[in-house]
Structure formats: C-alpha cells, structure tokens
Amino acid sequence: MKALVTRPVEDAAPLIRALAERGIETVLAPMLTIRTVDDAERRLTERLAGVQAVLFTSANGVRAFAAASPRRELPAFAVGDATAAAARIAGFRNVASAGGDVEDLAALVKARLSPQGGALLHAAGSSVAGDLAGALVPLRFTVHRAVLYDAMPASVLDPPAVAALSRGEVGLALFFSPLTASGFARLAAAADVAGACRSMAAFALSPAVAAALDPLRWRAMHVAAAATQRELLAALDAYLAAES
C-alpha cells in the first residue's frame, strides 16, 4: 500500500518513518516549500528584548529561530509534540508541549506564565493557522510576532506523484493543514488526477482540513480526534485494522 504525504520536505521525515513502520510506502508530494526570510536575524534581535518565553506553532518556526539566533535559555512553548521535539533537537533546554492546537498552546501559556513576567515571542511564518496573539492579548500578555519564514505553495504536483496517482497505486492520503489540502485539490484537478481520489481514503488533521478537501471525491474521509500527528496516525491504525 502507498500513501500520499503532502507535508513540506522539512517536516515529512517523522511521518515517513511512522508509515514505514506500518508497512506503507510513501509517495511524497510537498504542497509547500519552506524558505527562511533574509532578515530573520534582525527581526529576532528587534523583538527578543525583555521576552520571557518563545512560542512555536510549527517545527519550521523552531528551525528558523535556531538558524537566526543562538538564544536557547528561554523557555520554549510548543503547539504539539513534534514541534516540541524539534525545539529539543535545536538545543532548547526548557520545552513544554501543548499537545494540540493554537488554543491549547494559549491555555498552556496562561497556566504556566504571568503577563507580568515579560513579553512573549511568537516565531512564526508569513501565514499562520489560528490567532495565537488574539487568544493571549485579552489575558494581558504582550505577544511579539516575528515572521521568520515563508511557506511557498507548490505550483504543480511532482511528476512521480502524478504518475503514481494515474496508475492507481495510492490508497491513502494524509493532510495536515487547510492550505495544503486546498492546494492539493487544485493541483490534482490541474494534473487530471482528481479521479484517483475516488479509490483513496483521506486522513485530515482537523475538520477544517477535511472541509478543504471537499472539492474532491474520496472513498472515505477520516478526521483525527485531535489536531496532532499521533491522533492522525491513530485514525489510520483504526482504518487499517478495519480493512484487514
């Protein structure tokens, strides 16, 4: 069995390993390319003064921060376990994972930190899911958002992915964001492989991701119980067990 993975190359390795452990071969079709902004170091320098903690809503934010700044003594609050793991790999010593989405991250910050302790730095991309500052500012936190990377949408499906879809080799597809899901729907139609989805089971990280896949017809649609890779894989395991 083969699974279509639409994550950026930088984020795909843990998922590819998890699929391989289940005997599933990966067809990689990245819907985004990650590029660190040219002046990331300056942006961080301007915003780090007086900061009590750094907030990460993606592993890409961790990597961009680590490339632009040597600061690792600040507490790091991560939206989920994969982002927390990236922060530990980058050298942050004090890392906490919200194990969910942006709302869970805001709740964790509220429980662990005080607005009087200083500002918070959100290491972000040019496009973000959720409104982290909007959840924290009403609680009297000051949030400095530093845009450190761009996520560039793919303009075409990779030829190997098109070929695998055309031959009907792909039985599963995994999607982690509305942006990548809608991008795939658009590019699959442009490549004339949208019909392949009729024989595929889609796995979406959230209802919003599933909604972005509505233009395509799927054999089945499964939504993770929570917005984490662990829960997405749990939905996949349940599907595989039912199909066996």
Give the three-class secondary structure for 144: strand
Question: What's the pLDDT at 91?
Answer: 97
Report d(CA 164, CA 160) in Å as an integer: 6
Question: What's the pLDDT at 158?
Answer: 94
DSSP state of 154: P
Question: What's the pLDDT at 129?
Answer: 66
Cα dihedral sign, 119-122-126-129: negative
Rounded to two decimals, the pTM is 0.80
Assigned token pair, 222: 């499964």
Domains, the chain, ordered by start: 2-31+154-243 (3.40.50.10090), 34-152 (3.40.50.10090)
Question: What's the pLDDT at 130?
Answer: 67
Provide the terminal-to-terminal Cα distance of the chain, rounded to the nearest Å: 12
How do residues 198-243 score in pLDDT, each as one tens digit?
A: 999 999 999 999 999 999 999 999 999 988 888 999 999 999 999 9
Alpha helices by DSSP H, the chain: 9-21, 40-47, 59-68, 81-89, 102-112, 132-136, 159-166, 178-190, 207-212, 229-243
